[in-house]
Amino acid sequence: MKRLALTVIALLLAAPAQADTLVDNVNGITLDKDGKVVRFTGMVIGTDGKVKQLLDRKDKRPERPDFKEDGKGRTLIPGMIDAHGHLMGLGLSLMLLDLSDTRSLAEAQAAIKKYADENPELPWIIGRGWNQEKWGLGGFPTAADLDAVVPDRPVWLERVDGHAGWANSAAMTAAKITAATKAPEGGRIEMVDGKPAGVFVDAAVALIDSAKPKPLARDLDRAFLAAQQQLLAQGITAIADMGTTIQEWQAYRRAGDKHQLAIRILSYGGDIDNMALIAGPGPTPWLYDDKLRMVGVKLYLDGALGSRGAWLKAPYSDAPGQKGLPLLTPAQLRNKMVRASMDKFQVAIHAIGDAANAEALDAITDLTADLPGERRWRIEHAQIVDPADIPRFAKLGVIASMQPIHQPSDRLMAEARLGAERLKGAYAWRSMENAGVRLAFGSDVPVESANPFPGIAAAISRTDAQGQPFGGWHPEEAVSRETALDGFTRSAAYAAFAEDRLGTLMPGMRADFLIVDTDLLLASPEDIRKMVPLETWIGGYRYYKKGG
C-alpha cells in the first residue's frame, strides 16, 4: 500500500459558509433544463449552496455580497458528473501496485519486484492495470513470469479491464487451485501443459479473489479519501457508484458522519442483496446535504470485450467458437429487475455485447407493462449494439450509459474481436443520439481514468491521446461539444434521478462547478484533452484549488 500522507487531506479550502457568494468576471457556461447552452459572466450562490442567480455582463451585481470571487475572465462550467464509476475500486487501486504504465513484461516484472521489496509487511502483493496487448506478448503472461520475481508471497494482479487476473504459484496455492480445479460457469482458467497457467478469466477471477485478504474498514476509509481527492482534482463533482457493497457504503457513511464527504455519490447497490441491506425497503433519502444517496441496483448481464466475456449474437471474429456468456438466466435477470423495481429502485444493467444488450432490452420489454411509472432503465456500457436494437432504447426510454474513453482504448481490440461489419453498432454514440436515446457519459473508473476531458475529446473527435487515427475512427459516431457536455452533466444527473438538483447551473440547482482555463465549447479536441480544473466547487464550497 502506498504511503497515505498525501491522500488524507484537509477538505475545505477557504470555503465561504452561511453567506451569499458572488463569483464574477467569468466566461460562464451551463446547459439549461432543456439542454440549451446558457452563457453568463457572474453567478450568485446563496447560503444554501444553491445557485441564486446567473448574471449577464449588463446585469447589476449585488451591492454587498458576503464573499466575492474574481474569476479573472476564466471559464466556469458545471461540475462533471461521472455516470458510471467504481469509487472504492478507484480508491483501492490508488493503494495498489499500478502496472498500467508498463510497456513490456520485463518492465512489469521489475515494477512488481521493486514493490514487493519495498513493502515486506504486505501479506499479498496486489496490483492491477496490466495489458498483454500493450506488451505485444501475443498471449497471456504466466505464473512462472511472476514466480521469477516474487516466489515467496502470493501475487495477484488484475488485468486493465478487470475481467482477468494473473496469479503467481503462491497465490494459486493459497487459493487451493490445482490441475483438477474446474472453472465456474462463465469463467475460464488458462491452462498450459494440463496445469493452470496463472491467468483466470471472468467468473474464474473469483477463485483467487476469494482467497486474498479483504481490506479492513480503515483501508476503505483511506481509499475513499484518496479517490475523492483524485476526483476533485479531475473536476468530478458527482459520481454514480456502480455496484456499491455494504462495506463500501459504510465507508461512505463514515465519511459523511465525519463531515468528510466532498463529492456527491449516486450509489447503485452491488446486486440485490447489497441494495436491500443498504437501503432497505426503497431508495434512501438524499443524505448529508445531497452528498449521498442509494438510487438503485447494478446487475451484471455479461462480461467485457477484451476478455471475450461480452455476450455476442455471433461468434468473436478472433475466436470463432466463442460468443461469450450471459451471467444471468432470463428468469434470474427478470426476477432481480422485478424485485428492485417493486421497491422503486432504479435498475442499471451491465451489457457490453450485442446479445446482452438485446436481452436487456427484451427483459425491459417484458416487464414494462407490469411496472408502470418512470423507471429510467439504464443499460451500462451499451458498447456493442446491433444497429437494429438502437431504436428500442429510445422506444423503451432506456438510458444508454456509455464511456467515450473506452472507444480509443478499445479500438484495435474491438476491431479484432468484432470485425468490420459489427463495428457499425460499436460505441455508437451519434446513432444513439439520432435515434432519440438519452446518453449519459462516464469513465468506468478505475478501468479508465476518471478524467472527463479526454472522454469529452474522444466523444467529439473519435481520436485517442495522440489524435489518432487522423480524422477519427468511424467519425460519423462523434457527437457535438454540447452533447458531450450534456452527457457529463445534465443527462448524467437525469440518469440518476438527480436532475432536480444537479447537472446544470440554473437558479435553484446546487452550485457545483469548475473554473477552467479553456472554453469547452470552442476549444479543439487537443486542448480539451489537456484541460485541467483550476478550482472545483461543490454546493458553493471550494474543495479544490490547483496547486493550493
Under the rule (CB under 8 A), what is the footprint of its own copies?
216-218, 220-221, 246-247, 250-251, 253-254, 257-258, 276-281, 284-285, 287
Minimum CB separation from its own copies for residue 253, in Å?
8
Residue number with CB closer to its own copies (280 or 475): 280
Minimum CB separation from its own copies for residue 285, in Å?
5
Minimum CB separation from its own copies for residue 258, in Å?
7
Minimum CB separation from its own copies for residue 158, in Å?
24
Which stretch of DSSP H or E encloses residue 202? strand 195-202
Residue number with CB closer to its own copies (57 or 258): 258
Residue number with CB closer to its own copies (13 or 287): 287
Buried/exposed 56-69: b ≥16 CB within 10 Å, e otherwise: eeeeeebeebeebb
Minimum CB separation from its own copies for residue 257, in Å?
5
Which stretch of DSSP H or E encloses residue 116? helix 105-118
Residue number with CB closer to its own copies (293 or 392): 293
Minimum CB separation from its own copies for residue 357, in Å?
32
Residue number with CB closer to its own copies (34 or 370): 370
Residue number with CB closer to its own copies (160 or 220): 220
3 state SS of 134: helix
Minimum CB separation from its own copies for residue 19, in Å?
20
Q: Are strands 378-381 and 346-351 parallel, antiparallel or unpaired?
A: parallel
CA distances from 501 to 50, 293, 334, 345, 539 (A): 9, 13, 31, 19, 10
Best CA proximity match to 440, nearest among 469, 403, 472, 473:
403
Residue number with CB closer to its own copies (134 or 254): 254
Residue number with CB closer to its own copies (220 or 450): 220
Residue number with CB closer to its own copies (155 or 292): 292
Residue 409: CB atoms within 10 A of its CB come to 22
Q: Is the dihedral of CA 364, 367, 369, 370 positive or negative?
A: negative
Residue 293: CB atoms within 10 A of its CB come to 20
> What beta strand segments (E) does 284-437 contain?
292-300, 346-351, 378-381, 399-402
Find cell 478499445 and name the residue. Answer: 410
Q: According to the 3-state scheme, what is the secondary structure of 479-546?
A: CCHHHHHHHHCHHHHHCCCCCCCCCCCCCCCECCEEEECCCCCCCCHHHHHCCCCCEEEECCEEEEEC
Find all residues with CB under 8 Å of 372, minimum gap 6, and list them: none
Minimum CB separation from its own copies for residue 120, in Å?
16
CA–CA dist 228, 234 (Å, integer): 10
Best CA proximity match to 522, nearest among 24, 27, 41, 72:
27
Minimum CB separation from its own copies for residue 220, in Å?
8
